[in-house]
Structure 1
Amino acid sequence: MIDKAKSYLVVLTELGLVLVGVGIVLQVLFGETVPFVGGDTVGNLIGFIGDIGSGGYIGLIALGALFWLFGRRAL
């Protein structure tokens, strides 16, 4: 049961990463406002990275946790 829940979470995470990538590509191709994306993907990503960078040690720990989570799975 836990393995099934883990597999669903992995699929949802991968889908989210694909959607972020598609949003970035569409925003680069079509400009700042892409009506069917629903937001400023690149601006939100830059803001997120800025928030992590200004967090000091907590930001560094959060960045390390993200790398650990996404780096430990085999492609």
Structure 2
Amino acid sequence: MEMLNTTKSWIAGLTEVGLMLIGLAIVASLLAGGTVPFFDGVVANIVNLVKELGTNGLVGLIALGFILWLFSKRTIA
């Protein structure tokens, strides 16, 4: 059981770092005007994701709910 808890904490930590990198990419792209090495196209990909969710009606709304659930602060069970 301890191994499972350790694995969960590693996955949670990696996910948190990934979300921080996404936030950094958005801020860096907005400040630098769009072309930032390593973060190239992050804002464009987010805009495309929002467009796709908007054109898919109920399925897009469900996907948006799932994405928001992923971004919400949760404790590791």
TM-score under structure 2 normalisation?
A: 0.77
Distance 2:30 2:39 in 1: 15
Question: How much is the aligned-residue C-alpha RMSD, in angstroms?
Answer: 1.7
> What does residue 29 of structure 1 align with?
31
Structure of higher RCO (CA pairs closer than 8 Å, 6+ residues apart): 2
Percent identity of the aligned residues? 41
- With over 3 angstroms needed to count, the CA separation of the structure-2 counterparts of 1:72 and 1:25, relative to structure 1, is closer
User: Where do 4+ consecutive residues of structure 1 move more than 4 Å?
Assistant: none
Q: Which one-letter code corresponds to 1:12 in the other structure?
A: L
Alpha-carbon offset, residue 72 of structure 1: 4.7
> What does residue 61 of structure 1 align with?
62
Distance 2:7 2:60 in 1: 28
Q: After superposition, what is the alpha-carbon deviation per residue over 1:43-70, rounded to whole angstroms, capped at 9, x for unaligned?
A: 1111111112222211111111222233
Structure 1 unaligned blocks of 5 or more: none
TM-score under structure 1 normalisation?
A: 0.78
Contact kept? 2:25, 2:42, Cα under 8 Å? yes
